[in-house]
Structure 1
């Protein structure tokens, strides 16, 4: 029997890929995968990750957020088997290392000091989104090893065609990380801080698992966060109006301008996700004196709440912790979600019940000399990440087995 023919192609826009084909690869277990719609309903969409949906990538690109002008030129790699799309790698040809949250600027500086040219590079990721998820998107009825191997080889080939120095697969799943290592990619780890649901019936059940000092501190922070007449509101679906998006964008711009200098997402991006995936979004908004003063945007998966951007135009003690962390825990408990991913960095999250979790990335580097240097660095970095993760977990806020409540 003849082997099936696999062809590879890179396309310059998510809009050139049929949403049904994209979603069938991105979320193959979802009963809605064959649909262009992306409305999320926890419990009805197993293994659903909103960030790899077609709607998210289309919004990022159509809004002008991830485009060649901003240094994110789409080069989505498609694998077709007998003419049908069987796999996709969401990929960008990049002229910088901004908006990735896995830092390689040191590699770029060293290579360019040695006379090399690090940019452009290929970035396999969700733009501006440090959330774990699939990166080799493979249709559920396809041979995963065969299509995965073709996609990995295709990335290496695309590096050559694009004159890119490297290909970086960031915030991948651990299984993909191991698979890509077998294809010759270098392995890198880092850590984030995630909250895990233990089938809590309410927030007080979660608090009961903490030691006395941290339990009292969280209760105090929550009380003080909503003084001065502040109220907290959850908004989803049709409740998220353009007026709410206007307010949230003001928060995002104010905070993003201080943190990064230039925020990544345009105002149009939020309107587009409001049109195409509003039920996948949770806005937690704070209101005082009849106006919105702060907010955080979260995306809802089948078992995970992904915390993303936060901003405020008024600054009140502990309001950030309330809006971003404690309200996310409340929502996860109410909707029986297993995990809250609170974004990149932030050891301060440990005291709020978020513990270190390993994140994974895989890197193909074309130049043998740079590859050897990076491989040596990553070996030492992985050991450091493991050790720090153990130390931070031991310092967590949870009660020891023999500790009184």
Structure 2
């Protein structure tokens, strides 16, 4: 093996075929087309605080591994909140930015971050990738961060000197449901009645829902969706959103077969819309907006329509987006998600280690509290195919012990 690496400033520096050979089964957001659209429509770039800097590892001249990466000049659009760390740097007269992150911009969805060719040995390449990232310390980069990788990567990341941060999201799992009524039957009577009542109220308000996929997503539906998307950000943040109309137009043109668009109509006029991406790995709810306020409309468009679609398409899971305890009572189970962090200045790395050691138990407690209020009935609960809860605090305990020596 003759490994060497490079950091590329645009994803077009590697061909789509070469990237796709590494990104098989990596989910829709790591496809060359998705990442390329972010760059070509200038949704990412130095002016946005997301400067592409993807890591490519070669064996001779053949790409065998890749990590999507960005130089960041702020912490917006990451969903792993480290502003207090940046403030600490500032207080001591240092700069936390720029930093390097491996992540999908504006997309807090767990998935692989190190993309590998089928024939390579994962442990060998992981070690080399960690060494390659460490060279960023020589380029005035304060730190390296890997956001929303699989939990199973924790051991290798900690061995490479990274700190693990734990958070909780909510995800729907498909327990071999054949119909939406099977999912309803798994809920407690009270929750089942509440869901049916919500749908009846929408019907009484003359609200109808349509789902569009593939070539059925026509230009009028696309335009209406983007109007809704803009409205959401205008209400919340006073701007039109991180992603441009050109990005979504390109997405509809190139990835429509991986897209579900839900549109709500009242008196036959479109009033709300939600956009999902999907492939064999699962269904992912990402973007939503509404022009009117109607009780239950958000839950119907963003959650229950997604669940129905996932059951019909036999999707293994449905990730509806980040945050929101309200998802629990609608059948979404808590799951751990993680990020890994290496601060190149030892004193700051040690300080963050202590911070995470104190933060993690609160996340574990939150996870267990959420699991206690799942809305499934006593008949169904024993059949939940949940794995044994991992000891997510273990790595941080061991890291603290090392640091304290």
Using the alignment, how far apart are the partners of 1:261 and 1:128 within structure 2?
Answer: 17
2:9 to 9, 12, 15: 12
Report what 1:76 is aligned to: 54
Deviations 1:31-60 (A, max 9, x none): xxxxxxxxxxxxxxxx35111111110111
Task: Return the TM-score normalized by structure 2.
Answer: 0.91
Report what 1:279 is aligned to: 257
Aligned pairs, how many?
Answer: 380
Contact map agreement 1:122 1:159 (CA 8 A) in 2: no
Contact map agreement 1:138 1:148 (CA 8 A) in 2: no
Cα displacement (A) at 1:400? 2.0
The 4+ residue runs of structure 1 with deviation greater than 4 A are none
Q: Where is the helix percentage greater, Structure 1 or Structure 2?
A: 2
Question: Aligned with 1:85: secondary structure?
Answer: strand
Report what 1:393 is aligned to: 371
Aligned: 1:200 with 2:197: no
Structure 1: which 5+ residue stretches go unaligned?
Answer: 28-46
Using the alignment, how far apart are the partners of 2:144 and 2:203 within structure 1?
Answer: 46
Report what 1:170 is aligned to: 147
Matches for 1:288-303 after TM superposition, within 5 Å = 288-303=266-281
Quick one: structure 1 residues 58 and 315, their matched pair in 2 at CA, closer, same or farther if it must change by over 3 Å?
A: same
Deviations 1:167-207 (A, max 9, x none): 11001011223211111111111010001111111111111
Deviations 1:254-308 (A, max 9, x none): 0112223331101111011112111111111112244321111111021310111
Contact map agreement 1:210 1:398 (CA 8 A) in 2: yes
Using the alignment, how far apart are the partners of 1:272 and 1:280 within structure 2?
Answer: 13
1:113 to 78, 81, 91: 91
Matches for 1:41-60 after TM superposition, within 5 Å = 47-60=25-38
Contact map agreement 1:297 1:308 (CA 8 A) in 2: yes
Deviations 1:203-248 (A, max 9, x none): 1111111111111111112222343322211111111223222111
1:139 to 104, 117, 121: 117
Report what 1:220 is aligned to: 197
Report what 1:25 is aligned to: 22
Deviations 1:61-109 (A, max 9, x none): 1111111111110001110011100111100001110001111111111
Cα displacement (A) at 1:142? 1.5
1:314 to 280, 292, 300: 292
RMSD of aligned alpha carbons:
1.4
Question: Aligned with 2:204: secondary structure?
Answer: coil
Report what 1:250 is aligned to: 227
Structure 2: which 5+ residue stretches go unaligned?
Answer: 382-405
Using the alignment, how far apart are the partners of 1:340 and 1:148 within structure 2?
Answer: 29
Contact map agreement 1:226 1:319 (CA 8 A) in 2: no
Task: Return the TM-score normalized by structure 1.
Answer: 0.91
Contact map agreement 1:48 1:302 (CA 8 A) in 2: no
Report what 1:36 is aligned to: none
Quick one: structure 1 residues 402 and 323, their matched pair in 2 at CA, closer, same or farther if it must change by over 3 Å?
A: closer
Quick one: structure 1 residues 61 and 226, their matched pair in 2 at CA, closer, same or farther if it must change by over 3 Å?
A: farther
Using the alignment, how far apart are the partners of 2:186 and 2:70 within structure 1?
Answer: 43
